[in-house]
Amino acid sequence: MATEVLSIRVKKSLKDEAEKLGVDLKKEVEDLLEELVAEKKTKAEQVAKQLRNLMNVSPEEWVNDVRSTRQEM
């Protein structure tokens, strides 16, 4: 798995307190980012599903309409 360096600034007092409490900052930030990304993906999928329902068009119909529009050009 490839990794990348992430550099952020936080309050020194917050960082110091977290270290005193034994918080693994790398793990916690990584876990939080994974959670946020998963939430955003889920929300995007829900919005896409709602749009599909509002459009009352099946994916096949959508593809056919796009193809026919391209052929008209």
Give the Cα separation of 20 and 7 in Å (integer).
21
- Give yes or no for a contact between 69 and 46, defined as CB atoms under 8 angstroms apart: no
0.85 cut: is pTM over it?
no
The owner of tokens 């008209």 is 72
Cα–Cα distance for residue pair 42/4, rounded to 1 Å: 24
Q: How many CB atoms lie within 10 A of CB 57?
A: 14
Give tens-digit pLDDT for 3-47. 999 999 999 999 999 999 999 999 999 999 999 999 999 999 999
